[in-house]
Amino acid sequence: MIQVQLINDLKENVKAAKQAGKSIGFVPTMGFLHEGHMSLVKHAREENDFVIMSIFVNPAQFGPNEDLDRYPRDLERDTKMAVEAGVDLLFFPQAEEMYPQDGGITIRAGAQADVLCGASRPGHFDGVLKVVTKLFHLVEPTKVYFGQKDAQQLAIIETYVRDYNFPLEVRRVPTVREEDGLAKSSRNVFLSEKERVEAPLIQQAIQMGLEDYQKNQDAEKATLVTIQHIENGTSGNIDYVELLSYPDLTNNLSNNKSIILAVAVFFEKARLIDNLILNNKGE
């Protein structure tokens, strides 16, 4: 596996891959890899000739009181996992090179960012769009892979790519879960033993809420079912439980749209998110 830290080295390798007529599959990450990331690589591997992974804990997407410094990092372990997964090139830039000067130009996500995580993390998705813009320009991917666990991020990036004609395809990859249903996340390491036992209830609560919605078509009641299950079974504090259309993320839940039931819960040292999406056939 090729390992590069500098943008120019990345560009040379991208140029060589393009000249050789290779398709590029891209997996952008913030590192501390887990099976969710490995699943993204697996899909990228199957569908492309050359797989690039980036590891960059992007300061632009963390608010002033968020966990940028505490975000878990282990480049040595990540490198081994990337090799095992079949990544061809690992790009791990420095913040100084990614963001050398501030020309005052910002990219703002639209209304999709005003709900769910965007409501409690103002500016977060602007920061995500800032880094993916740079990464997409540098990596020039044919296809780029995002997990459905970060469903709001995925919806916003899909919209951005479509609206601004990025010459690439966004691929949705299903959430990877632990055996007990907890969605894999880099933040799970911050759960206490007790919280780790409680956390799978989030997924169960979402399922119960969706089943209720399928029966009664009442979004308010369905979210209440979910809230009650989380409140009764965990010590976490709910940030949000919302049932919205997907991917536009509005309250317009007409029958011909997919819907998402999305949840965020604060535990002592970790904020966990999870969701389930139902298409218009109820699958």
Binding site for ligand PAF (CB under 6 A): 28-30, 58, 61, 128, 131-132, 150, 153
- Is residue 273 exposed (0-12), middle (13-18) or buried (19+ Cβ within 10 Å)? buried
Write down the least CB distance from residue 237 to ligand PAF, Å.
23
The distance of closest approach from Cβ of residue 105 to ligand PAF in the complex, given in angstroms and rounded to an integer, is: 18
Q: Based on CB atoms, which residue is closest to ligand PAF, 160 or 213?
A: 160
Nearest distance from C-beta of residue 146 to ligand PAF, angstroms: 7
Least Å distance, CB 28 to ligand PAF, is: 4
- Residue closer to ligand PAF (CB basis): 32 or 213: 32
Residue 131 or 230: the one with the smaller Cβ distance to ligand PAF is: 131
Considering 34, 37, 124, 137, which one is annotated as catalytic?
A: 37
Instruction: Give the alpha-carbon dihedral of 182, 183, 187, 191, to 10 degrees.
Output: 0
Minimum distance, C-beta of residue 4 to ligand PAF, in the bound complex (Å):
17
What are the φ and ψ backbone dihedral angles of 255, each rounded to 5 degrees? -60, -25
Q: By C-alpha distance, which of 235, 230, 226, 231 is closest to 193?
A: 235
Q: Is residue 37 annotated as part of the catalytic site, yes or no?
A: yes
Q: Identify which of residues 28 and 236 has a Cβ nearer to ligand PAF in the complex.
A: 28
Shortest separation between residue 167's beta carbon and ligand PAF, angstroms: 19
- The H-assigned helical ranges of 86-200 are 95-98, 116-120, 124-139, 151-163, 193-198
What does 116-128 look like in DSSP terms, one character per residue?
HHHHHSTTHHHHH
User: Where does residue 274 fall: left (phi above 0), alpha (psi -120 to 50 degrees), or beta otherwise?
Assistant: beta
The 10 Å CB-count burial string (b at 16+, else e) for 32-49 is bbbebbbbbbbbbbeebe
Distance CA 279, CA 256 (A): 9
From the list 92, 103, 90, 98, the residue with the least C-alpha distance to 59 is 98
Query: Is the CB of 170 or the CB of 206 nearer to ligand PAF?
Result: 170
SS3 for 237?
strand
Token pair for 203: 């997924």
Closer CB to ligand PAF, 128 or 201, in the complex:
128
Residue 268, CA distances (Å) to 69, 103, 239 in order: 17, 38, 13
Active site residues: 37
